[in-house]
């Protein structure tokens, strides 16, 4: 699919308000977490492999991001004093996990994703040791994920979520956010740091905009919804400031 075809497809999905549709092929060779799945192991060899993979991404990631996307990070001062937080990022590039690592730190960040990203083979092996945490699975897997997430946050990590769910390559507008990341933030009483990726200039240089952290004010679903709305408002304001136009979606196609 070329850029023109992709733009037409995304415009069509936008008009249908199908913002969470993943149009890219997902593959079938992946690991679905269950009650025995270990998200982060603690044995010596696993930790050494993690250190190696994270060091490689620390050294090579900035080169890939700069020469491939011209990546720039804006707003790093908003991370000052943050120890243990959830970040939410718009999902707009195949390698935008590297963007997030570059923005918040290779050695303190973990990155959630759909089970179909939890690949079998060498690629999946490297991703997991570089900080990938698979979502999905049954109740037992979700319980273990929650325990792992709490431990990572208590240790000062930043755990990234893509609340739009689907990857839309090169898409500029913020899409509606799912509530999951914000429910975790309320449950574990940690801030959410919104990150919004923009494409700027004639060469569409990628910029990670680190925005102001949002803190939970009270428990329950209402608090999660308030956090989501405040984060989305910052996304929206950043979009309108960078692109110089109000946020507006394609009108649905009329059927009469």
Q: What is the DSSP string of 183-219?
A: HHHHHHT--EEEEEEEEETTTTEEEEEE---B---SS
> Which residue's entry shows tokens 């995304």?
10
In a domain, 98, yes or no: yes
In a domain, 233, yes or no: yes
Instruction: Please state the length of the chain.
Output: 256
Confidence grade of residue 255 (pLDDT, cut at 50, 70, 90): low
Question: Where in the sequence is the domain holding 220, given as residue range(s)?
Answer: 28-243
Number of domains within the chain: 1
Q: Is 43 left (phi over 0), alpha (psi -120 to 50) or beta?
A: beta
Mean pLDDT check: name the lowest of 6-20, 24-38, 204-218, 222-236: 24-38
Instruction: State the DSSP string of 29-52.
Output: -B----TT--SS--SHHHHHHHHH
The mean pLDDT value for 59-80 works out to 94
In a domain, 2, yes or no: no
The Cα–Cα gap between 160 and 40 comes to 15
Residue 189, domain CATH: 3.40.1130.10
Q: Dihedral sign, CA of 237, 217, 78, 67?
A: negative
The mean pLDDT value for 234-247 works out to 97
Tokens in use for 230? Answer: 């405040």
Residue 254 has pLDDT above 70, yes or no: no
In a domain, 35, yes or no: yes
Burial class (CB in 10 A: 0-12, 13-18, 19+), 104: buried
Q: What is the pLDDT of residues 160-198, one digit of tens each?
A: 999 999 999 999 999 999 999 999 999 999 999 999 999
In a domain, 15, yes or no: no
Q: Which residues contact 191 (CB under 8 A, 6 or more apart)?
A: 82, 85, 86, 185, 213, 214, 215, 216
In a domain, 12, yes or no: no
Residue 219 has pLDDT above 80, yes or no: no
The mean pLDDT value for 39-67 works out to 92
In a domain, 5, yes or no: no
In a domain, 4, yes or no: no
């Amino acid at each position: 699919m070329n850029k023109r075809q992709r733009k037409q497809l995304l415009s069509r999905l936008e008009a249908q308000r199908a913002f969470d549709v993943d149009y890219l092929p997902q593959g079938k060779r992946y690991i679905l977490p269950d009650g025995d799945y270990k998200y982060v192991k603690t044995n010596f060899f696993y930790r050494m492999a993690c250190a190696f993979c994270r060091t490689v991404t620390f050294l090579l990631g900035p080169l890939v991001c700069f020469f491939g996307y011209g990546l720039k990070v804006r707003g790093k001062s908003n991370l000052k004093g943050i120890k243990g937080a959830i970040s939410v990022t718009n999902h707009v590039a195949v390698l935008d996990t590297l963007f997030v690592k570059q923005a918040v730190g290779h050695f303190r960040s973990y990155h959630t994703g759909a089970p179909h990203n939890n690949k079998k083979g060498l690629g999946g092996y490297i991703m997991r040791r570089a900080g990938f945490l698979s979502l999905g699975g049954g109740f037992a897997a979700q319980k273990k994920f929650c325990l792992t997430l709490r431990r990572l946050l208590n240790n000062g990590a930043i755990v990234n979520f893509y609340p739009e769910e689907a990857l839309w390559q090169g898409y500029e507008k913020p899409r509606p956010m799912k509530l999951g990341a914000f429910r975790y933030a309320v449950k574990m009483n940690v801030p959410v740091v919104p990150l919004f990726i923009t494409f700027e200039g004639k060469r569409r240089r990628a910029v990670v905009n680190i925005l102001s952290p949002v803190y939970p004010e009270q428990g329950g679903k209402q608090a999660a919804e308030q956090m989501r709305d405040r984060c989305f408002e910052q996304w929206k304001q950043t979009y309108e400031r960078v692109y110089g136009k109000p946020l507006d979606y394609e009108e649905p196609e009329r059927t009469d």
